[in-house]
Amino acid sequence: MRQRTGALPRNPESHAILDLRVIDLIHTRGLPAIVVAISFAIVARVVGAVTDGGAMAGVIVAFVLMMAAGLAGFLPLIAVFLLTLVSTRWGYARKQRLGVAERRRGRTASQVFANLGPAAMCVLPAIWLPEAAELLLVGAMAALAEASADTVSSEIGQATARSAYLITDFHDVPIGTNGAISIEGTISGCVAACVVSWISARYGVLDWRWTFAVAFAGIGGMFLDSIMGATWENAGRMGNDSVNFVSNVFAADAALLVAIIVARFSSQP
């Protein structure tokens, strides 16, 4: 009887351990995560913050964050949601007069994925690579900080600013112009990024040493969003969702790069 060659030896013990880990992950994180994610989406839909598609996209993002970071991973996301909701409705009558008000039907799936998708994509590998979770969460939280900073800066600026300036040449432009910035909006966006960073550390999603990297990466992404809005979006080369997505990815990558450099130097004797 001929023996098979090249076959990998089976190890029933390793398969059993893997199965137990998967089952444990499903019970400890999976079930609570899906319940919280669906509940969150229902609330967001009821208050009119998202469309049906946006609610489904929110379920996916929330579920991935909680699978990677536990239920605490939901708190930075809810902070982004609340900051976005409040700032969008702040001064809504004035925004309507200016013709820049967000549509009442809420954010669509493409808008949700453009603003929150990079955070979920960044942290997704941490579900099966827990040893990389700390670094990946730094990038994910920076993406959320950028999403919050970008939305809050735009909405508060449109609601309160008396004047706006194009970020590329600082010429006066109408409020709501792509790439326009204001003092009020910029300060509000910086505060929003810091709030998301602080909440991430306060509730154990991140170590406190990463808060500055997360906040500054988020703020940097906010400015990149304005630069791309003033150039490529105004020229018709990019849409708003694309600009938001790239800015989020930039913030995540910038924070990840800082975290990797810090981790490598701190590990050296």
8 A C-beta contact, residue 142 and residue 125: no
DSSP 24-61: HHIIIIIHHHHHHHHHHHHHHHHTTSB-HHHHHHHHHH
pLDDT digits (tens, 9 = 90+) for 76-88: 999 999 999 999 9
Residue 88, H or E segment: helix 74-89
pLDDT at 265: 80
C-alpha to C-alpha distance for 36 and 89, rounded to whole angstroms:
25
In this predicted model, what pLDDT tens digit does every residue of 159-205 receive, in sequence order? 998 899 999 999 999 988 999 999 999 999 999 999 999 999 999 99
Predicted TM-score (pTM) of the model is 0.88
Percentage with pLDDT > 90 across the chain: 68
- Strand ranges inside the chain, DSSP E: 164-166, 172-173, 180-181
Tell me the average pLDDT across 27-53.
88
103, pLDDT greater than 80: no
